[in-house]
Amino acid sequence: MQLAGKTAVVTGAGSGIGRAIAERFAREGANVGAWDLNGDGVAETVEAITKAGGKAIAVTADCSDAAQIRDAAEQTRAAFGPIAILVNNAGIAPFVPFFDITDDQWEQIMRINLKGPYLCTREMLPAMLDAGWGRVINITSSSTQSGSNGQVHYVSTKGGVLGMTKALALEYAASGVTFNMVPPGVVDTPALRAAPVDMEAFAKTLPMKRIGRPEEIAGACLFLASEDSSYVTGQTISTNGGRYMGSA
């Protein structure tokens, strides 16, 4: 068990990639704070973890709201003690042509996808620094590496998280807390199924000829959450089936 006894928070754990990360971390012995705006989704995640013999609590919270994040962190600490691992996964990924993006849409996506990870990190980092050990893993996107049609606002948020991750990694490099990124390529989740993308046609364009599974993103997160990644910070594990092979 690679995360035995560690407390981990996974945001957006009520669906898709976040659920797979929460389940994998729990199988590795972590006590998981499974946070999501969608209370039903996160209750299902925790039920599955508990049935499999793992430990988790479901917390309904808007992970872009500082007061709700504080409350969610307090509930998680009360259940499991100090939080050592944070996965900033919650996000939205709409497709809107550039000139159709409204100011409200721009501000909403910046708040959820960029400000949310900032606020969650700000809430949880002090305890990690006190402990001299911590892991922050940010779920970015291969679209930050390659661009994505109809997603200027989305790609801008993920690019912001990329910069934030590297800046934090540098500022706290000697602290025992690491900051890394996992940018998924195209992964089979409810969000992807709702997107205007022909999945089968897209899969054929990928070197591996298939889209990814949420569990394959969780595997990369597990490495970055574990002791095995102790000398890795400010880095990217590109989980994309060979779609993008650059270094960023």
Ligand X SMILES: NC(=O)c1ccc[n+]([C@@H]2O[C@H](COP(=O)([O-])OP(=O)(O)OC[C@H]3O[C@@H](n4cnc5c(N)ncnc54)[C@H](O)[C@@H]3O)[C@@H](O)[C@H]2O)c1
**Strands in 144-248 per DSSP E:** 177-182
Catalytic member of 154, 172, 231, 244: 154
Q: Is the dihedral of CA 240, 234, 161, 225 positive or negative?
A: positive
Half-sphere exposure of 72 (CA within 13 A, CB side): 31
Question: Are 115 and 157 spatial neighbours (Cβ–Cβ below 8 Å)?
Answer: no
Closest distance to ligand X from the beta carbon of 55 (Å):
20
Q: Closest CB to ligand X among 107 and 171? A: 107
Is position 172 annotated as part of the catalytic site? no
Q: Closest CB to ligand X among 142 and 233? A: 142
Q: Residues with Cβ < 8 Å from 205, sequence gap 6 or more?
A: none
Question: Are 61 and 71 spatial neighbours (Cβ–Cβ below 8 Å)?
Answer: yes
Question: Are 162 and 181 spatial neighbours (Cβ–Cβ below 8 Å)?
Answer: yes
DSSP label at 187? B
Q: Closest CB to ligand X among 5 and 11? A: 11
SS3 212: strand
Q: Closest CB to ligand X among 160 and 184? A: 184
User: Which phi and psi (to 5°) does residue 58 adopt?
Assistant: -90, 130
Distance (Å, whole) CA 190 – CA 64: 21
Distance (Å, whole) CA 63 – CA 91: 9
Q: Closest CB to ligand X among 53 and 147? A: 147
Sheet-wide strand order for 177-182 = 55-60, 31-36, 7-11, 85-88, 134-139, 177-182
Instruction: Summarize as ranges the residues that interact with ligand X (CB under 6 A).
Output: 11-12, 14-18, 36-38, 41, 62-64, 89-93, 112, 116, 139, 141, 184, 186-187, 189-192
SS3 218: helix
The catalytic site residues sit at 154
